[in-house]
Amino acid sequence: MRSRQLFGKDNRYFPVLDSTNREAWRMLQQGSAEEGTVVVADFQTHGRGQGDTHWESENGKNLCVSAILKPSFLPPDQQFYLNKAIALAVAEAVRHTLPGRRVRIKWPNDIYVENDKIAGILIENAIIGSRLAHSIAGIGINVNQLRFDPQIPNAVSVAQLTGKTEDPQNCLDRICKALDHWYALLASKQNGQIDKAYLEILFGLGERRPFHRRGERFYATIIGLTREGRLVLQLDGGSQESFDMKEVGFLFD
Ligand code: BTN
């Protein structure tokens, strides 16, 4: 049973939107959405991914949701903890949907099953003064889509892995429940617990693997994260360096 339900109590469903993140932003600007509101769409005409990328999702097949958060308790220099808590919540929901599968977080917040991406997260923060006034956590989970753009070779869906159709609403319920749990830990400053859980399921931790930066391929071992959320790599030459999202990418052979 859920002790305290925040996420999903107010559920705004739309058959079509430009982007659930954009709609959540409009609601915040109009003052018409409380913390915990989730915005869900069957189809997004301008689904957004990290950086300048698009998020493609077949109409009605998957889960496209944005959750509204008001983490004013979190100093902006700790905002990566919000990324961690949300990634942990999505990973937990996916794990419940796919029991027995190895679900991991690929830094910073992609959700992988084995070597394939099953969910993506786009977090947009508004900092007012020295506080995180509000955040929008956009979450896309591949649920029933069976074919993906060949340019995204490592996308996978729940249905591809189980051979069965899953109701995206079940995934939404699991997401809301898991967000309640991890967001409550974040609000009660259980940063140690969040760090430990994130590292436990961090894709590639301690493994020597290929990366690229500025078009160059190199091998390194992930040894952890900085407090700001930069990825710390042990390079083959022996030196340690930290990178932000724009500075390094994973390579899959
Ligand atoms: C990524 O992996 O690049 C992040 C993808 C995030 C996609 C979700 S779908 C719901 C929400 N609305 C958007 O426009 N994007 C996010």
| pLDDT tens per residue, range 91-114 | 999 999 999 999 999 999 999 999
Q: Which of 161, 151, 156, 187 minimizes the C-alpha distance to 98?
A: 161
168 lines ligand 1 (CB under 6 A): no
240 CA from centroid of ligand 1 (Å)? 32
pLDDT tens for residues 204-236? Answer: 999 999 999 999 999 999 999 999 999 999 999
Helix, strand, coil fractions of the chain, as percent rounded to 5: 25, 35, 40
71 lines ligand 1 (CB under 6 A): no
Alpha carbon dihedral 181, 185, 186, 192, in 10-degree steps, equals -130
Which residue pairs from 165-171 have beta carbons closer than 8 angstroms and sit at least 24 positions apart in sequence? 166/97, 168/61, 168/62, 168/63, 168/141, 168/143, 168/144, 170/97, 171/63, 171/93, 171/97, 171/141, 171/143
108 lines ligand 1 (CB under 6 A): no
Can you tell me the distance from the alpha carbon of 226 to that of 229, in angstroms, rounded to the nearest whole number? 5
Q: What is the pTM assigned to this prediction?
A: 0.96
Per-residue pLDDT band for 1 (boundaries 50, 70, 90) equals very low
50 lines ligand 1 (CB under 6 A): yes
pLDDT tens for residues 29-74? Answer: 999 999 999 999 999 999 999 988 999 999 999 999 999 999 999 9
Q: What pLDDT is recorded for position 237?
A: 86
Single-letter amino acid code for the residue at 198: Y
Per-residue pLDDT band for 152 (boundaries 50, 70, 90) equals confident
